């Protein structure tokens, strides 16, 4: 499991911006460039769910969205198992969802930066570093 300053824990909000060309995509790409990317196992489920929601909202873009989703498999992200009990305690103490706490737990465990577009998650990570 990688550790250190070049490690970036990427969450679904940041990765979805990149994959689906959302307005923050360039800023996310700049933050991730050259980093070792790491995420908990739930990332794939969350990205697939984002894609599904987008397909349901914009059926005419189905092909483009599925094509963008296929890029996910090509991004070198190390998937790391988290300690579910520790993440649950962190979620309870912070008021975050368990899913968000999983990313926070991993960033703290690895000593890396958490890259997220979720303002609440980012604020919690910033105050707990």
Span 7-44, pLDDT tens digits = 999 999 999 999 999 999 999 999 999 999 999 999 99
| CATH number of the domain encompassing residue 116 | 3.40.50.1010
Rounding to the nearest 10 degrees, give the CA dihedral for residues 21, 24, 27, 29: -30
Whether 128 has a pLDDT exceeding 80, the answer reads: no
Domain extent, residue 12, equals 7-127
Structure tokens at 71: 């890029």
Neighbours of 8 (CB within 10 A): 23
* CA–CA gap between residue 105 and residue 69 (Å, rounded): 26
Number of domains comprising the chain: 1
> Considering the domain boundaries, does residue 72 fall inside one?
yes
> Considering the domain boundaries, does residue 2 fall inside one?
no
Q: Residues 67-125: pLDDT tens digits?
A: 999 999 999 999 999 999 999 999 999 999 999 999 999 999 999 999 999 999 988 88
Q: Where are the alpha helices (DSSP H) in 58-118?
A: 62-70, 84-94, 98-110
> Considering the domain boundaries, does residue 83 fall inside one?
yes
Q: Residues 53-65: pLDDT tens digits?
A: 999 999 999 999 9
> Considering the domain boundaries, does residue 1 fall inside one?
no
> Considering the domain boundaries, does residue 87 fall inside one?
yes
Predicted pLDDT at 5: 73
């Amino acid at each position: 499991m990688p550790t250190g300053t070049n490690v970036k824990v990427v969450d679904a909000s940041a990765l979805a911006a990149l994959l689906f060309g959302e307005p923050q995509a360039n800023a996310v790409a700049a933050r991730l460039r050259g980093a070792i990317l790491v995420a908990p196992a739930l990332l794939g489920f969350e990205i697939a769910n984002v894609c599904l929601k987008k397909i349901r909202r914009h059926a005419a873009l189905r092909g483009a969205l599925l094509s963008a989703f296929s890029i996910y498999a090509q991004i070198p992200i190390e998937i790391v198992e988290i300690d579910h009990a520790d993440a649950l305690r962190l979620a309870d103490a912070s008021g975050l969802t368990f899913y968000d706490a999983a990313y926070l737990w991993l960033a703290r465990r690895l000593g890396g930066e958490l890259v997220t577009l979720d303002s609440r998650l980012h604020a919690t990570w910033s105050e707990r570093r």
